[in-house]
Structure 1
Amino acid sequence: MNFLFLMTDQHRVDTLGAYGNTQARTPHLDELAATGTRFDRWYTPTAICTPARASLLTGQAPFRHKVLANHERNVGYQEDLPDGTFTFPVALREQGYNVGLIGKWHAGTIKSPADYGFDGPHLTGWHNPVDHEDYQAYLKENGLPAYEITDRIRGTLPNGGPGNLLAARLQQPVEATFEYYMATRTIEMLRRYAADPDGKPFYLATHFFGPHLPYIVPDEYFDMVDPATVPLPKSISETFEGKPPVQRNYSAHWTFDTMPIEVTRKLIAVYWGYVTLIDEQIGRILAAMDELGLCDETTVFFTCDHGEFTGSHRLHDKGPAMYEDIYRTPGIIRIPGAEPQVRDEFVSLLDCTATILSLADADSPDKTVDSRSLVPLVKGEHPRWQPDILGEFHGHHFPYPQRMLREDRYKLVVNPDSTNELYDLEIDPDELLNVYRHPEMEPVRSRMMRRLYQLLVERDDRFYHWMTSMYDVGDVAYDPTLSGLDEDSYK
Structure 2
Amino acid sequence: MKALIFIALKKAVLAILLVTTTSSIFAQNGSKRPNIVFIMADDLGYGDLGAYGQVKIETKHIDSLASSGMKFDNFYAGTSVCAPSRSSLMTGQHTGHTYVRGNKEIEPEGQEPLADSVQTIAMLLQKAGYTTGAFGKWGLGMVGTTGAPDQKGFDEFYGYNCQRQSHRYYPTHLWHNTKRIELDGNGLMAQGEYAPALIQERTLAFIDANKDKPFFLYVPTVLPHAELAGPEDEYYKQYAQKFDEKPYRGNDYGSKATVPGYNSVEKPHAMYASMVSRMDAYVGQIVERLRRNNLLDNTIIIFTSDNGAHKEGGADPNFFNSSGGLRGTKRDLYEGGIKTPFIAYWPGKIAKGKTSNYLGAFWDIMPTLADLAKTDHPRYTDGISFVPTLLGYSKKQKQHDYLYWEFHEDGGRQAVRKGDWKLILQKVMSGSPTMELYNLKKDPKEQHNIAIDNPKKVMELRSLIEKAHVESSIFPLITKLQ
TM-score strictly above 0.5: yes
The answer on 1:40 being equivalent to 2:66 is no
Indicate which of 371, 375, 384 corresponds to 2:383: 371
Q: Distance in 1 between matches of 2:419 and 2:442?
A: 14
Match of residue 161 from structure 1: none
Q: Alpha carbons of 1:72 and 1:210: their partners in 2 closer, same or farther (altered >3 Å)? A: farther
SS in 2 for 1:377: helix
The answer on 1:30 being equivalent to 2:63 is yes
Contact kept in structure 1, 2:300 and 2:345, CA below 8 Å: yes
Match of residue 131 from structure 1: 172
Q: What runs of 5+ residues in structure 2 fail to find an aligned partner?
A: 1-33, 246-251, 256-263, 320-326, 473-482
Q: Distance in 2 between matches of 1:460 and 1:171?
A: 45
Indicate which of 351, 356, 374 corresponds to 2:369: 356
The answer on 1:191 being equivalent to 2:192 is no
Contact kept in structure 1, 2:78 and 2:86, CA below 8 Å: no
CA shift, 1:85, in A, is 2.0
Q: Alpha carbons of 1:285 and 1:384: their partners in 2 closer, same or farther (altered >3 Å)? A: closer
How many percent identity over aligned positions? 28
CA shift, 1:316, in A, is 9.5
SS in 2 for 1:367: coil
Match of residue 26 from structure 2: none
Q: Alpha carbons of 1:305 and 1:64: their partners in 2 closer, same or farther (altered >3 Å)? A: same
CA shift, 1:361, in A, is 0.3
Match of residue 466 from structure 1: none
CA shift, 1:461, in A, is 4.2
Indicate which of 421, 424, 427 corresponds to 1:413: 424
C-alpha distance after superposition, 1:407-440 (max 9, x if no partner):
43x4321233342112354565443443434xxx
What's the Cα RMSD here? 3.6
C-alpha distance after superposition, 1:289-344 (max 9, x if no partner):
1101000111111112111244569999732x312221111111123422121101
Match of residue 152 from structure 2: 116
Contact kept in structure 2, 1:230 and 1:269, CA below 8 Å: no
Matches within 5 A, 1:83-482: 83-109=116-142, 110=145, 111-118=147-154, 119-121=156-158, 123-126=160-163, 127=166, 128=168, 130-132=171-173, 149=188, 170=190, 177-194=194-211, 199-220=212-233, 221-222=235-236, 224-225=238-239, 267-310=268-311, 311=316, 318-319=330-331, 321-337=332-348, 338-340=350-352, 341-368=354-381, 370-382=382-394, 383-386=396-399, 389-396=402-409, 400-405=412-417, 407-408=419-420, 410-415=421-426, 416=428, 417=430, 418-425=433-440, 428-437=443-452, 442-443=453-454, 445-454=455-464, 456-457=466-467, 459=468, 461=470
Q: Distance in 2 between matches of 1:87 and 1:329?
A: 21
Q: TM-score, normalised by structure 1?
A: 0.70
Q: What runs of 5+ residues in structure 1 fail to find an aligned partner?
A: 151-169, 232-250, 255-262, 464-491
Contact kept in structure 2, 1:103 and 1:208, CA below 8 Å: yes
Please tell me whether Structure 1 or Structure 2 has the larger radius of gyration of its CA atoms: 1
Letter of the aligned partner of 1:434 in structure 2? N
Contact kept in structure 2, 1:7 and 1:207, CA below 8 Å: yes
Contact kept in structure 1, 2:416 and 2:464, CA below 8 Å: no
SS in 2 for 1:363: coil
C-alpha distance after superposition, 1:212-270 (max 9, x if no partner):
11221222445543698699xxxxxxxxxxxxxxxxxxx9x99xxxxxxxx99964553
Q: Distance in 1 between matches of 2:328 and 2:417?
A: 23
C-alpha distance after superposition, 1:73-118 (max 9, x if no partner):
99xxx92222222212111111111111111111234331011121
Q: Distance in 2 between matches of 1:123 and 1:371?
A: 28
Q: Distance in 1 between matches of 2:174 and 2:138?
A: 16
Contact kept in structure 1, 2:159 and 2:199, CA below 8 Å: no
Q: Alpha carbons of 1:265 and 1:331: their partners in 2 closer, same or farther (altered >3 Å)? A: farther
Q: Alpha carbons of 1:377 and 1:384: their partners in 2 closer, same or farther (altered >3 Å)? A: closer
Contact kept in structure 1, 2:95 and 2:404, CA below 8 Å: no
CA shift, 1:207, in A, is 1.3
Q: Alpha carbons of 1:273 and 1:407: their partners in 2 closer, same or farther (altered >3 Å)? A: farther
SS in 1 for 2:274: helix
Q: Distance in 1 between matches of 2:181 and 2:244?
A: 35
